[in-house]
Structure 1
């Protein structure tokens, strides 16, 4: 069965890889980006199965127009992937209000806008799968990523609630939570802001790791090849009872396990204080 994918944030990285995967599989794709110029070669190659839409996900009316254009072109949407995002690295103390708002507006409000625009269609059809691209950062806390990871915690929480609302209606929801991926994490995809020397010991190692993770040996760190994520999404789409949250990568599985162990140990250590105020 030919599927229709609507994917945000497709100018490069994971979004671009997902567009290429779906098109090569013979599916129809609505690809969005703030600037779609880099996608024009794909449109020339797949003129009948690719629809390009310039979209700023922070604009709710533009999100509604994009969904309408997708339905007009292809008749329905099977898979929605909210992939557009923003990231800047800085300690909380020196994170600007503008940067924090941009994280929230793009990574969280943008997800809300596009999801909300598509919900009437999914609800009416009673079928489909919504994917929110979150991060292993939704289960951990790394110095320098306060704004970014705060939004990813929120995205995974949003997906969890949405899944509970839509499951009885036949619509699936999954939050994808990858670790390292071979993208330009430090560069086009994540800006490193200047910060005081006092944070060199905590924030700088994270910046160095992210810079290396995007360009290094993925097999060595257990990261995710973006060209293979499309297969994961197809498998989840076909599954009868897919997970609400799915880790991507051996590194993500390891990090999540360590975070869960630390949280459980802390809960156990302080449980007497937890119940101290109970009647």
Structure 2
């Protein structure tokens, strides 16, 4: 039997799997925990992001909410694209085991959860997790805020999207190969095309397409959770129009939401370029989420 792949290290975190890491804060110092802070913050990194990069977001959340348990998820693009929903959901079950060891209605179960997803790949693994939760407990995932950075984009299979997807995959793997970037992107475009044809032949829905719909499906996403869209018009991998279409669909279905647009920053580059605006948008949306729960949409 092959040995399990060793998880990379993230300082201050314990590996639950090769993808999933947890930081359990020390609450034994006797200091009071702010009543409005999240019990759990979940951070789903963008496709093929390095642990040290997604850790910067965990650091930012820890500055805002130092007493919150943190879950960090790495998001390999190949694992997201070339797998089925059953496998993706199974990979996410350690999160459910960690957050709800005695079930979601146990006295010590977390009451306030903030989920933060980045790019379509991070969103794919988040929606795989809420599918695993639904399969186990037969109810939508309980949380107060879903924050979406540079996602969700269009999942229609056409030339413009193929260029975007293959470029995203090439960005994550270009360092593996000695040839020019355009060659790597072409190889990924061919692989994605073959995979798309295969999925069509076997009747399997594209991971991104399923995830985009699940994020606006009250079977998986509780209506009491607020949504926050963080995006820019300069994003060259995710079209801002696609994000705004998803937000409009969510509003029509009854979700409360906030839209925060950034000037000049690229794909998942908003925090680096506009740190103050970025963290304020999350903090403000969280305050609204816990102060104004309910099904009525706003923007």
After TM superposition, the score normalised by the length of structure 2 is 0.40
Rg larger in structure: 1
Q: Which has the higher helix share?
A: 1
After TM superposition, the score normalised by the length of structure 1 is 0.42
